[in-house]
Amino acid sequence: MNNEVILSDISSPLLARGNWREYQPNKQDLLPVGAPAVDDRLQGGIVRNGLHEFFGAQKGDAIAAAAFALLLALRLPELGARIFWISGDKERQGSGRLYPPGLAELGGNPAKMILVQAANLRDALRATADSIRSKAAGAVILEAQGNAKLIDLTSTRRLALAAAESGVLALLVRGDAVPMPSAASTRWQIRSAPSLPLPGNAPGLATFDISLLRHRGGIAPFTAKVTWDHATRSFHDTPLSGGFSTVVTGGEADPELRIQA
């Protein structure tokens, strides 16, 4: 892809000290996941103008978490707005770059993607805030690796406020990280799952085990399995052996289930 911006020294008034406040996104402005049973549990979907976090269930599931976040962004109506994918140099070295033919096979339009390669996470955070505030973005995805101290309650509040004010879907992908307090509207744990082969033993559709770990609106955690249909650009329900299950957490799995942000 040629749509790449190199950012090395970006300043943004949005990140000025103290330039944020508590926010209350419009709960009626929801983006359905598409899977009826999941949307029913979410009471319609996820907040469209909010910040959402995605963690891999294990270290090897970081790519699955990134893929799920990207597919959610593809659920947005194609009205000219673009999807920004922002990462630092560490993330580029660890997970590589998006592959345009693969994105097209998933139902995406590579021409609608803007890749922003920042020198480091600090610049990536600034670029994310600027992108959310821009008129060109429909969704902004920030990819971060490890337990980055810069991604804390303060920085996520700033991103969440920007998303609430601009109407942009903000998605934070945390590879190989432990959940910490943040201002995200929802927090998810994602794991890749086996898919059912298509006729002729062709490779099956992308399937994920998803777990809602935290919902700022008070919806109880749950686990589900969903499959992505590239033709309709939507997830659909993939039955678990026992249907929905409640997420069981312990240790460091999700401290905010015990301590509210």
CATH number of the domain to which 159 belongs:
3.40.50.300
Domain that holds residue 89: 31-257
pLDDT attached to residue 240: 64
pLDDT above 70: residue 93? no
Does some domain include residue 15? no
* pTM of the full structure: 0.80
The rounded distance, in Å, linking the Cα atoms of 124 and 82 is: 18
pLDDT of 215-241, one tens digit each?
Answer: 999 999 999 999 999 989 999 998 765
Residue 243 within any structural domain of the chain: yes
- If you average pLDDT over residues 62-71, what whole number do you get? 93
- For residues 145-149, give the mean pLDDT: 84
- pLDDT > 60? residue 121: yes
Q: Is the pLDDT assigned to residue 100 strictly greater than 90?
A: no
Whether 10 maps to a domain, the answer reads no
Percent residues over pLDDT 70 in the chain: 75
pLDDT-based confidence at 247, cuts 50/70/90? Answer: very low
**Residue-averaged pLDDT of the chain:** 81
In a domain, 20, yes or no: no
Q: What is the pLDDT of residue 228?
A: 95
Instruction: Say if 218 falls within a structural domain.
Output: yes
Least confident residue range of 27-36, 94-103, 122-131: 94-103
Does 164 have pLDDT greater than 90?
Answer: yes
- Position 59 scores a pLDDT of 82
251 or 227: which carries more pLDDT confidence? 227
Residue 254 pLDDT class (50, 70, 90 cuts): very low
Give residue-wise pLDDT tens across range 199-211: 766 667 899 999 9
Domains of the chain: total: 1
What are phi and psi for residue 74, nearest 5 degrees?
-70, -15
pLDDT of residue 118: 92
- 8 Å CB contact between 15 and 154: no
Query: What pLDDT is attached to residue 109?
Result: 87
Q: Could you tell me if residue 200 is inside a domain?
A: yes
Whether residue 5 lies inside any domain: the answer is: no
Please check whether residue 197 lies inside any domain of the structure.
yes
Higher-confidence residue of 51 and 249: namely 51
Going from the C-alpha of 10 to that of each of 19, 124, 126, 148, the distances in angstroms are: 17, 9, 7, 19
Q: Which of 261, 18, 3 is nearest to 131 (CA)?
A: 3
Looking at the predicted structure, is the pLDDT value of residue 22 above 80?
no
Angle at 171 between CA 169 and CA 177, to 5 degrees: 165
Instruction: Check residue 248 and give its pLDDT.
Output: 41
